[in-house]
Amino acid sequence: MPSPSSKPRPANPRDEGQIESADEAPPRRLPRDSSPELAKRSTKYPIARLLVVVLRMLAIIVACLWPIESVYIAAANVTLFGIHASDPVEKILFVLLLLLTHCIYVVWLLFCSEILQAFLDIAKNTEDTAQAVGQLLGASTRMKEGAGTEPSKPQS
């Protein structure tokens, strides 16, 4: 019969509370942030939330395309948008114009994404505030009803 001190100890001190039997599984605990209320709240306006992500990804893609287009313009004699850029100065101006256009487009995409995110945050905060005010008013009316039925005791 093995003595209690000869029992194998877990290597990690955090694992000391583990169940000895392999048949018994430890109870699963949900993470703190995964409450049903949070799950219900995070699924509101799913298309708008997806659109925010898509706009940000599109801005990244547009930003990554500028160097590729610039190398293509610099390496070849190409005609883009009806402009034939063969002179080096014309190519540099065209690349700078392309850079400016891409920057404006990226800033516009990020601006739209942030405005949409702000509206989503405002909607969530408004709903949370309305629920908190409703709970406070409900608690206040319950306290008033409770105070009205009990006889008041004189203070000494």
Position 156 scores a pLDDT of 56
Q: Which helix (H) or strand (E) holds 124?
A: helix 88-149
Q: State pTM to two decimals.
A: 0.56
**Residue 88: pLDDT above 50?**
yes
Q: Which residue has the higher pLDDT, 38 or 144?
A: 144
Per mean pLDDT, which range of 36-40, 67-71, 84-88, 127-131 is the poorest?
36-40
Torsion sign, CA atoms 138, 143, 144, 145: positive
Beta carbons within 8 Å of 18's beta carbon, 6+ residues apart = 10, 26
Alpha-carbon gap, residue 136 to 130, rounded angstroms: 10
Q: Which residues contact 124 (CB under 8 A, 6 or more apart)?
A: 41, 44
85, β-bridge pairs? 78
- pLDDT, one tens digit per residue, over 2-60 is 555 555 555 554 544 544 444 555 555 545 554 455 445 556 888 989 999 999 999 99
Secondary structure (3-state) at 106: helix
